[in-house]
């Protein structure tokens, strides 16, 4: 992603959903408030999977259900305003993703049901009381982000046998990233790596943070949040220029010229979130719907990036990948 594209994505986020223009009159149809933490373009495959599964369950948009779409584009202030709008509109259920964005919805309403399509640590971050008995007005799907950190570091070690110094990059402005960041620091330490913490913020240029790692570390582990997802292409381009292999958590980040990703299949989780929304619309309380966990993890290797970095991926590892980008 070019710098001007990154600025347009983040800086123009509010313009992407003008509140007065987008707000519509209440409808007699059941209404889903769809609050995506990422941009409209980045959300395309997840949105399609969600709507398709809703259709399979008997919900036809515009016929027997209404969906109010909003995209926060990685900006928490947008999420808070959108959640407040949904509370005013009295939608029947709010669908969102990401611990910080679920909490924004919970702050806006204690009565409207909330379904999260993905959350990194729903119990630890206070989204639900427990996975089996969520309580309150919230349920959804956990992506077991912290539980899979060790696997990502293990894969990175196989891909970069000379790895001794590892940078952990995270958005310091999002405190809910701490669970994955702390797990990454702990797992990397147990693996015997020297660790460098790399902090980024939404309002700062990314280039100096990546440039500061050049020659100091052998690889980069990126902690997932809406910001790092939105700027994955920029992270990857700068890391490639600094000759740094990058480990991500989401397929799209590897597709954006990252080296590797290992994590849940997010379109599949959007399909499963549609099933939870269906239960809520048919009268089941979120308090009584257990939080679900991933059924499938995606392992993606970008051979184009590996070749550009001069890395040879072990054949045994290639054979286990769900997708190899050539």
In a domain, 96, yes or no: yes
Same domain membership, residue 251 and residue 282: no
| Cβ burial, residue 161 (10 Å; 0-12/13-18/19+) | exposed
Q: Are residues 282 and 169 in the same domain?
A: no
Task: Classify residue 273: in a domain, yes or no.
Answer: yes
Same domain, 101 and 176: no
| Consecutive H or E run containing 141 | strand 138-142
Domain assignment of residue 242, given as a range: 149-264+298-325
CB 60 within 8 A of CB 29: no
Per-residue model confidence as pLDDT tens digits over 243-282? 999 999 989 899 999 999 999 888 999 999 999 999 999 9
Tokens of residue 34, six digits: 């769809």
Name which residue leads in pLDDT, 120 or 307.
Answer: 307
User: pLDDT at residue 25 above 70?
Assistant: no
Same domain as 56, residue 172: no
Let me know if residue 80 belongs to a domain.
Answer: yes
Domain assignment present for 307: yes
State the average pLDDT for the chain.
89
Query: Same domain, yes or no, for 275 and 303?
Result: no
pLDDT in tens, 223-253: 998 889 889 999 999 999 999 999 999 898 9
Q: What's the confidence (pLDDT) of residue 230?
A: 85
Q: How many domains does the chain have?
A: 2
287 and 310 within one domain? no
pLDDT of amino acid 241: 97
Least confident of 15-24, 33-42, 119-128: 15-24
Asked if residue 276 belongs to a domain, the reply is yes
If asked whether residues 313 and 204 sit together in one domain, one would say: yes
Instruction: Say how far apart CA 186 and CA 263 lie, in whole Å.
Output: 19
User: Are 240 and 312 in a shared domain?
Assistant: yes
The token pair that represents 79 in the structure block: 């999420």
Q: Read off the pLDDT of residues 56-100 as tens digits, 9 standing for 90 and up.
A: 999 999 999 999 999 998 787 899 999 999 999 999 999 999 888
Q: Are residues 39 and 137 in the same domain?
A: yes
Q: What is the CATH number of the domain that holds 222?
A: 3.40.50.2300
Report, as an integer, the average pLDDT of 200-216.
94
Please indicate, yes or no, whether residues 176 and 290 belong to a single structural domain of this protein: no
| Reported confidence tier of residue 120, pLDDT bands at 50, 70, 90 | confident
- The verdict on residue 7 lying in a domain is no
Ordered DSSP codes for 296-311: -EEEEEEHHHHHHHT-
Asked whether residue 175 falls in the same domain as residue 272, the answer is no
188 belongs to a structural domain? yes
In a domain, 234, yes or no: yes
Distances (CA, A) of 204 to 7, 178, 199, 272, 284: 11, 19, 10, 36, 44
Same domain? For 157 and 304 the reply is yes
Residue 205 backbone phi and psi in degrees, to 5: -65, 135
């Amino acid at each position: 992603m070019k710098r001007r594209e990154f600025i347009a994505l983040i800086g123009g986020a509010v313009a992407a959903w003008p509140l007065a223009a987008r707000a519509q009159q209440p409808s007699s149809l059941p209404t889903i408030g769809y609050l995506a933490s990422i941009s409209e373009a980045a959300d395309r495959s997840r949105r399609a999977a969600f709507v398709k599964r809703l259709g399979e369950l008997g919900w036809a948009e515009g016929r027997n259900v209404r969906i109010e779409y909003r995209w926060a584009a990685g900006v928490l202030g947008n999420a808070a305003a959108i959640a407040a709008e949904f509370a005013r509109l009295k939608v029947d259920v709010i669908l969102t993703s990401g611990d910080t964005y679920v909490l924004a919805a919970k702050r806006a309403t204690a009565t409207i049901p909330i379904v999260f399509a993905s959350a990194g640590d729903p119990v630890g971050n206070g989204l639900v009381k427990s996975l089996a008995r969520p309580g309150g007005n919230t349920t959804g799907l956990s992506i077991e982000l912290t539980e899979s950190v060790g696997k990502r570091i293990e894969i990175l070690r196989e891909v970069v046998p000379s790895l001794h110094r590892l940078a952990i990059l995270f958005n310091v402005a999002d405190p809910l990233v701490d669970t994955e960041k702390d797990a990454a620091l702990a797992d990397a330490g147990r693996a015997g790596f020297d660790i460098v913490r790399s902090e980024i913020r939404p309002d700062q240029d990314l280039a100096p943070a990546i440039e500061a790692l050049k020659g100091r570390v052998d690889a980069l582990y990126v902690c997932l949040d809406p910001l790092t997802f939105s700027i994955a292409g920029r992270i990857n381009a700068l890391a490639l220029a600094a000759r740094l292999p990058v480990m991500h958590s989401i397929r799209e980040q590897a597709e954006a010229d990252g080296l590797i990703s290992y994590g849940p299949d997010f379109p599949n989780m959007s399909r499963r979130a549609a099933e939870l929304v269906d239960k809520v619309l048919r009268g089941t309380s979120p308090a009584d719907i257990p939080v679900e966990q991933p059924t499938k993890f995606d392992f993606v290797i970008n051979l184009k990036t590996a070749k550009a970095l001069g890395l040879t991926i072990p054949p045994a590892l290639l054979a286990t990948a769900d997708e190899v980008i050539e």
